[in-house]
Structure formats: structure tokens, C-alpha cells
């Protein structure tokens, strides 16, 4: 067993943010020491690798992940050969193809992958993305009937696994589903359903987002083309889309997902996709992109159209090869994202107040309100989840029907619980995956459904969760926190869901400078008394006890914890700590 230490790291059982600090386990410490001896890599990097379960002999490969080493055989997924063969049949026979996609980043990127691939083969495709409010998630009968009347093949991406009725309604056209959402006991009558989360799959590729599944289908299509002596489009150049979807959909950055994102970021840095270039420019991204930028800068803007605007804007931006159209779409999405923030804040304030009044120490935190925009309930649920370390559901009602979204915490399978509710008739519709789910229900169903969901989540242990522990990779002294070390640590990335960035504690630190920045942020400098000095920034620090305690330190010393990064100012590089927590050093 590789359990973390039972005792609090540096003796911090309750930090300024009320968290217990947890350090490496004894086994991880031993593995890190052995790796230092075997590889000569810095101890901080070895501790990070040991925390990820990497063995000394695997370190070199882990630090340089390649698709060649990590790409699974697409044919390991059920229906894959069948799906690719039908896709190529449509291409060769110049049949009419429609792409039905979800309205989020993963759906938009998945659609763009197919559209770009087909364009390079000289074939156009119809893009159809349902309106979040009028149509809701996934295929519906009316849309599928209309598409089937005008097309020979409909490809559903990031949706469709549970769409029995709508797929049956697509008479006269074949339907291929490329999805990753949890499958039911029976599958719709589609020509092919490729989904690593089908119940008859092994689960080995369950971490793929839909764009990852689409990419594998295109790998298989290129393979089948090669067997006929034809070279397919360049798939490596499309990895920027897969990377964006993987990070934005919060897919765990493990296995092939690491290679998708690492190599996709390198493709994106070349600024060859006009849509992503235009979006990066309006977002003010003036450096080579990192996984953080995909999740917090580009992803929300691509999503903004599906949340509160026209649902297909994001997919059109990602697929276009027209620079003028890309600039126009990017400007629209930037404005919609600004509008989305205002809508989100209003719903967040109401939902937080309601959840606090109901109580946040049970197995489920939830809130529901009339007129709450369905495009922001998922983001608000994520904020509630982060604040409480509990699965959270937020629901907006309109004309008696509620549309909600949920986010879960590690170890609690929300998608399965929501699917159970739907099967028990407590919802109109519901589905998802472990960490995120969607649902719709009536006003009468609300209280019984939430009570039952709380029961199901309690059985999984959600009610016993305390504040999230702060997991630390070890101790670092200011003199050892160099730009070179940050660069080496980045090789253990990309960091995100399922692969958190390394976090270190700087023990017994002296605050040398502290200043409030804006309304809520704090900037400090600290040292260890030996001459080395580091700047740190803590966003939102003044909203809780952390900021005031450090600002008014009165000479007290603190253990400081966070992630180190490179800060560039006027061409000069220095290490900065992204401060997350602190505790008095007694």
C-alpha cells in the first residue's frame, strides 16, 4: 500500500485554510531516494515522479512521452473498424455527412477534427450543434429526423450513447457514435458505437475524452486508407484540438492523454490553426500555451457560445480556415465570455447562499432556482464542489422544468449515481461520467431526487469527507527553487486533472514584504534567513483568513505551500511561488 503519512506534514493538522497537510508516504520517500541515486535527477523532481508511481527505470520515458510509445491500438475499442470503414465509405462515395456534436469544448473540438480531416479530402460536412436551452444535451428526435432526410451518414460526437429514440428516428441514414459518456445496459441501434465507457469495454481507455476517441477513429481511418495505397491527412497537426478538449473536459492527464496534451501544446505554439490563434490573441495570451491556458483561458471562451450564445460558434471557430472569419468568431466569443462571467456571478451568489442555508456537511451540496441560466449551472456546481469538497448539483428552472449539472470529487462516481436516479424514474433524463453529470427533472421531482442522490452518494462515502487535504510533494528551500528546476519539473507534466502540479512546502519562512494587490489578492516576498528570497502571489487570499494573517504577520514565521513557476518581467526570468496555503511555524 502506498498510503500517505498518517501524521500531518510539518505538523500542520489545520492550516490557515483549515486543511491538513499530507506529505509523501514512506514508500514514496524511499522510491524518490532510489531514483536520485539511479538517475542523478534533482530530488524535487524525483519526489514528484515517485508521487505519480513512476519507477526509476521508467523516468526517462515518462519525462519525454511520445504518441509512438503511448498510443493504443484503435482496434482495441469495440466497433472501431466498423466505424472507420463506414466513414471511409462515405468519403469514397462522396456521400452527404452530418456531424452532430455536443455544445461544449470537447464536442466542438471533436466536430472540428472531423470537419478538418474531411476538408483535406475535399469533402464538406454539415455541422449541427443543438441549442442548450431549446433542445438540451444530445440528439433529439426532430433534429435527427431532419438530418437523416438530407444526409447518408450522421456522426454523433461527445453524445449519443444513451440516445435510443433519436437514433431510431434517423431513418434512412446510418449513425456512428463517437463518445465517452457512461453507457447503459443496452446500446442504441446505431451502425457503430465507439466508446471506451461502454459497459462491455475493459475500461483501459476510460480516461479518453470524446476528441481522443475521434482522433483514434481517424488513426484507424488513415490506417485503412494506407492499406489501399492512399495517404491520409496529417493527424499530428490536429493534436492541438485533442489537447484543448482533453484539458477543457477535465480528462485525467495520464497515459496517452499526457502525450496528446504535450504534443498538442507544441502544435498550438506554432500558431497554424487560425481559430485558436485568433482566440489566443483576443484572450491576451502572449506566451507559448501551457495546459493551464487551455483550461482557464481558451476553453471558457470556446465554451461561451454553447453556454449563453449561439451553440455552434466554438466549433466553427476551431474548424475554420478563414482568418477573417476566425477573428470575427473570436471577438464574438470574447464578448460572450464577458457576459457569461456576469451571469455566472449572479447565479453563484444565490446558489452559495442557498447551499449554505441547507448545510454543506452532508454527502451532497445542491441548489436550485427559477431562471438560473442553464449555461452556467455547471460552472457554479464546480465552484460549490471546490468550496465544500462535496459532490455538487446546481439546477435552473424554467416553465417547471429544471436543467442541472453536477460535479464530483475524486473517488465518488456521480455519473453512475445520476444514471441510477434516471433508471428509477426520479429524473426526466440524466447521465454523465464519474466527475461530471447532467440531468433534467420537474419541480415535483426535485426534493425526492436530491434526497435519493444524497443516499447513493453517502453509500460511496461522500458524507464522510472532510476538508480536502493539501497534498505536498515535499520540502523545498528558497535557494533550491531555480528556473532550471521549474523547467525540469515541467517535463513531468502536463499538469491538471488526475496529475496535479507538484506542490512544495517552504518551511519556517520569514515574510520580508507583503502587499495587498487589487481587492482580493496578496503579493509577498519571503526568505529562509540565509540570503535566498522568493516572490509569491496568492489569488483571492484576502477573501479568507490566509491573506490577512500574512499581511499582518508582525514578524511571525510561517510554513508556506504552493506551486513554483517562472515569472517573466521585462525579459527577466525569476521563480515565483503560486501560494495556496500557510500555517504558523511554531
Rounded CA separation 308/331 (Å): 15
Q: Are residues 459 and 500 in the same domain?
A: no
pLDDT-based confidence at residue 4 (cuts at 50, 70, 90)? very low
pLDDT tens figures, 308-367? 888 999 999 999 999 999 999 999 999 999 999 999 999 999 999 999 999 998 999 999
Asked if residue 445 lies in contact with residue 413, where contact means CB atoms within 8 angstroms, the answer is no
Cell of 246: 482533453
The CATH number covering residue 497 comes to: 2.40.50.460
Rounded CA separation 505/472 (Å): 7
Residue at 352 is within a domain: no
Cα–Cα distances in angstroms (integers) from residue 126 to residues 219, 237, 306, 329, 493, in the given order: 22, 22, 18, 18, 37
Residue 3 has what pLDDT?
45
% pLDDT > 70, the chain: 99
Does the pLDDT of residue 5 top 50, yes or no?
A: no
pLDDT tens figures, 366-394? 999 999 999 999 999 999 999 899 999 99
Asked if residue 411 lies in contact with residue 252, where contact means CB atoms within 8 angstroms, the answer is no
Lookup result for grid cell 449554505: 356
The CATH number covering residue 422 comes to: 3.10.310.30
Rounded CA separation 176/81 (Å): 12
% pLDDT > 90, the chain: 88
- Indicate left, alpha or beta for 11 from its phi (over 0: left) and psi (-120 to 50: alpha): left
pLDDT tens figures, 440-495? 999 999 999 999 999 999 999 998 887 778 999 999 999 999 999 999 999 999 99
Q: Could you say which DSSP state residue 296 is in?
A: I
Domain boundary pick from 334, 369, 392: 334
Q: How many CB atoms lie within 10 A of CB 505?
A: 24
310 against 268, higher pLDDT: 268
Q: Are residues 81 and 208 in the same domain?
A: yes
What percentage of the chain's residues is helix, strand, coil (to nearest 5)? Answer: 45, 20, 35
Q: How many CB atoms lie within 10 A of CB 543?
A: 11
Residue 2 has what pLDDT?
46
> How high is the mean pLDDT of the chain?
94
Closest CA to 246 of 289, 296, 194, 211: 211
Q: Are residues 314 and 409 in the same domain?
A: no
What sections of 93-209 are H helices per DSSP?
105-120, 141-150, 164-169
pLDDT tens figures, 37-52? 999 999 999 999 999 8
Secondary element (H or E) of residue 518: none
pLDDT tens figures, 161-182? 999 999 999 999 999 999 999 9
Angle at 490 between CA 302 and CA 21, to 5 degrees: 95
Q: Are residues 225 and 274 in the same domain?
A: yes
pLDDT-based confidence at residue 307 (cuts at 50, 70, 90)? confident
Q: Are residues 507 and 395 in the same domain?
A: no
Q: Are residues 377 and 431 in the same domain?
A: yes
Rounded CA separation 81/87 (Å): 10
Q: Are residues 326 and 377 in the same domain?
A: no
Cell of 237: 497537426
Total domains, the chain: 3
Q: Are residues 367 and 266 in the same domain?
A: no
Residue at 343 is within a domain: no
Q: Are residues 52 and 117 in the same domain?
A: no
pTM: 0.88
Q: Are residues 435 and 484 in the same domain?
A: no
Does the pLDDT of residue 271 top 50, yes or no?
A: yes
In sign, the C-alpha dihedral spanning 57, 202, 218, 316 is negative
Q: Are residues 124 and 243 in the same domain?
A: yes
Which range has the worst mean pLDDT, 90-94, 300-304, 433-437, 547-551?
433-437
Residue 6 has what pLDDT?
54
Residue at 200 is within a domain: yes
Closest CA to 328 of 316, 339, 338: 316
Q: How many CB atoms lie within 10 A of CB 451?
A: 11
Residue at 296 is within a domain: yes
Cα–Cα distances in angstroms (integers) from residue 463 to residues 362, 363, 426, 541, in the given order: 5, 4, 21, 28
Residue 87 has what pLDDT?
98
Q: Are residues 531 and 559 in the same domain?
A: yes
Residue at 340 is within a domain: no
Domain boundary pick from 414, 430, 464: 464
Residue at 2 is within a domain: no
Residue 334 has what pLDDT?
97
Residue at 350 is within a domain: no
Does the pLDDT of residue 84 top 90, yes or no?
A: yes
Residue 94 has what pLDDT?
96
Residue at 24 is within a domain: yes
**Could you list the residue range(s) of the whole structural domain that residue 198 is in?**
70-334
Cell of 397: 428552472
Does the pLDDT of residue 558 top 50, yes or no?
A: yes
Cα–Cα distances in angstroms (integers) from residue 247 to residues 293, 302, 420, in the given order: 9, 13, 28
Arithmetic mean of pLDDT, 20-34: 94
Domain boundary pick from 400, 434, 464: 464
Burial of residue 367, with CB atoms counted within 10 A of its CB: 0-12 exposed, 13-18 middle, 19 or more buried: buried
pLDDT tens figures, 395-411? 999 999 999 999 999 88
Rounded CA separation 323/337 (Å): 21
pLDDT-based confidence at residue 288 (cuts at 50, 70, 90)? confident
Amino acid at each position: 500500500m502506498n498510503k500517505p503519512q498518517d501524521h500531518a506534514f510539518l505538523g500542520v493538522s489545520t492550516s490557515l485554510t483549515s486543511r491538513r497537510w499530507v506529505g509523501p508516504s514512506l514508500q514514496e520517500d524511499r522510491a524518490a531516494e532510489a531514483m536520485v541515486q539511479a538517475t542523478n535527477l534533482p530530488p524535487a523532481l524525483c519526489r514528484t515522479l515517485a508521487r505519480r508511481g513512476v519507477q526509476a527505470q521508467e523516468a526517462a520515458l515518462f519525462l519525454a512521452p511520445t504518441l509512438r510509445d503511448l498510443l493504443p491500438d484503435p482496434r482495441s475499442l469495440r466497433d472501431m473498424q466498423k466505424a472507420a470503414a463506414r466513414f471511409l465509405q462515405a468519403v469514397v462515395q462522396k456521400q452527404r455527412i452530418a456531424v452532430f456534436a455536443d455544445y461544449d469544448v470537447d464536442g466542438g473540438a471533436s466536430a472540428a477534427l472531423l470537419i478538418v480531416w474531411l476538408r483535406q479530402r475535399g469533402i464538406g460536412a454539415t455541422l449541427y450543434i443543438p441549442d442548450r436551452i431549446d433542445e438540451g444535451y444530445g440528439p433529439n428526435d426532430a433534429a435527427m429526423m431532419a438530418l437523416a432526410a438530407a444526409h447518408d451518414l450522421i456522426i454523433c460526437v461527445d453524445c449519443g450513447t444513451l440516445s435510443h429514440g433519436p437514433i431510431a428516428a434517423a431513418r434512412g441514414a446510418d449513425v456512428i457514435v463517437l463518445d465517452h459518456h457512461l453507457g447503459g445496459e443496452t446500446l442504441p441501434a446505431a451502425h457503430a458505437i465507439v466508446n471506451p465507457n461502454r459497459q462491455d469495454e475493459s475500461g483501459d481507455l476510460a480516461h479518453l475524452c470524446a476528441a481522443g476517441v475521434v482522433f483514434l477513429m481517424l488513426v484507424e481511418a488513415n490506417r485503412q486508407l494506407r492499406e489501399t495505397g492512399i495517404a491520409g491527412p496529417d493527424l499530428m497537426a490536429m493534436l492541438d484540438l485533442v489537447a484543448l478538449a482533453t484539458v477543457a473536459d477535465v480528462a485525467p492527464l495520464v497515459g496517452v492523454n499526457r502525450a496528446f496534451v504535450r504534443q498538442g501544446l507544441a502544435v498550438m505554439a506554432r500558431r497554424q490553426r487560425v481559430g485558436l490563434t485568433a482566440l489566443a490573441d483576443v484572450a491576451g495570451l502572449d506566451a507559448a500555451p501551457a495546459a493551464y491556458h487551455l483550461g482557464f483561458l481558451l476553453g471558457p471562451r470556446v465554451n461561451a457560445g454553447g453556454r449563453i450564445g449561439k451553440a455552434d460558434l466554438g466549433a466553427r471557430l476551431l474548424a475554420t480556415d478563414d482568418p477573417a472569419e476566425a477573428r470575427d468568431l473570436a471577438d464574438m466569443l470574447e464578448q460572450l465570455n464577458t457576459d457569461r462571467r456576469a451571469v455566472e456571478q449572479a447565479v453563484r451568489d444565490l446558489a452559495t447562499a442557498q447551499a449554505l442555508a441547507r448545510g454543506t456537511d452532508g454527502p451532497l451540496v445542491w441548489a436550485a432556482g427559477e431562471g438560473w441560466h442553464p449555461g452556467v449551472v455547471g460552472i457554479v456546481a464546480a465552484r460549490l464542489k471546490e468550496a465544500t469538497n462535496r459532490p455538487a448539483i446546481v439546477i435552473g428552472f424554467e416553465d417547471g422544468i429544471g436543467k442541472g449539472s453536477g460535479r464530483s470529487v475524486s473517488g465518488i462516481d456521480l455519473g453512475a449515481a445520476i444514471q441510477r436516479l434516471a433508471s428509477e424514474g426520479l429524473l426526466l433524463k440524466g447521465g454523465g461520467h464519474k466527475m461530471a453529470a447532467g440531468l433534467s427533472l420537474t419541480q415535483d421531482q426535485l426534493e425526492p431526487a436530491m434526497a435519493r442522490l444524497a443516499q447513493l452518494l453517502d453509500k460511496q462515502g461522500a458524507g464522510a469527507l472532510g476538508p480536502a487535504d493539501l497534498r505536498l510533494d515535499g520540502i523545498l528551500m528558497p535557494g533550491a527553487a531555480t528556473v532550471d528546476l521549474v523547467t525540469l519539473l515541467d517535463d513531468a507534466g502536463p499538469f491538471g486533472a488526475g496529475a496535479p502540479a507538484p506542490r512544495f512546502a517552504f518551511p519556517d519562512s520569514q515574510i520580508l514584504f507583503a502587499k495587498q494587490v487589487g481587492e482580493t489578492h496578496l503579493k509577498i516576498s519571503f526568505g529562509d534567513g540565509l540570503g535566498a528570497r522568493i516572490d509569491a502571489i496568492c489569488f483571492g487570499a484576502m477573501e479568507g483568513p490566509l491573506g490577512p494573517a500574512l499581511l499582518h504577520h508582525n514578524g511571525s514565521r510561517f510554513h508556506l505551500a504552493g506551486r513554483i513557476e517562472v515569472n517573466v518581467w521585462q525579459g527577466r526570468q525569476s521563480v515565483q511561488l503560486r501560494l495556496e496555503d500557510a500555517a504558523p511555524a511554531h
